[in-house]
Amino acid sequence: MKTYRLAPSLLSADFTELGSQIDLLKSLGVRALHCDIMDGDFVPSISFGMPVLKSIRKRTDLYLDAHLMVTEPDRYIDAFVEAGADGITVHAEACRHLDRTVQHIKACGKKAAVALNPATSLVAVEDILPELDMVLIMSVNPGFGGQSYIPYCTDKIRRLRALADQKHPELSIQVDGGVNRKTLAEVLAAGADDIVAGSAVFGGNIAENVAFFRDAFRQAEAKEKA
């Protein structure tokens, strides 16, 4: 049975209240934080890097999921490991030698994941799937928060789950982009178990928003047991 996880995207947090919001999330049962690292090259935006992640690490023992939306991410893996990342996600589109980069992450003792942009085929990870802890399906084009979910990504999640069931049943499938109260049930039904949410968590009442995700996870677990 899947273990569902919510990974709030700190990109949508209030950075003037970041520490207290992280503490609140932990008190609400959140186990992971999604850290969107953007370089202004692979994606249009620039977000934050190693110093901020290192400060977050000092504040909390929650799992830090470093999503590197950067060109040639292999250059930065050691630095993000040193900063305190627990898992590192790289984009297949940004890696010249994807297997080498994945093995670099694993050699550092960290969880290795590969992200695929909406238009990138699952073929990009099919051969390397058994080496991965997680695949991240981007359900928006990366670079900005608050975008709408791209509908065709649901079938992509479903096909990845079927592929993983054949090659690597323990693979976690993360989905990032436009997952909210309207789209969550669809994403979970397709086979995702790890949900990144930014504005859907930090917009409005954080406690109520987290409770919504946790209730949806319980319902999905109940369906699996039935």
Instruction: Based on the residue annotation, tell me whether 65 is a catalytic residue of this protein.
Output: no
47 is in an annotated binding site: no
84 is in an annotated binding site: no
91 is in an annotated binding site: no
203 is in an annotated binding site: no
Query: Which parts of 47-193 fold into alpha helices (H)?
Result: 50-59, 77-83, 98-107, 123-126, 153-167, 184-190
127 is in an annotated binding site: no
74 is in an annotated binding site: no
121 is in an annotated binding site: no
Instruction: Based on the residue annotation, tell me whether 36 is a catalytic residue of this protein.
Output: yes
Place of tokens 């969880």: 111
Work out whether the CA dihedral 96, 171, 13, 21 comes out positive or negative: negative
CA gap 193, 165 in Å, rounded: 14
Q: Which of 65, 133, 176, 193 is catalytic?
A: 176
Q: Which of 36, 39, 133, 194 is catalytic?
A: 36
CA gap 48, 83 in Å, rounded: 12
- Strand pairing class (63-69; 172-176): unpaired
Q: Among all residues, which ones are annotated catalytic? A: 36, 176
Which residues are annotated binding-site positions for substrate?
9, 67, 143-146, 176-178, 198-199
Which residues are annotated binding-site positions for a divalent metal cation?
34, 36, 67, 176
Which residues are annotated binding-site positions?
9, 34, 36, 67, 143-146, 176-178, 198-199
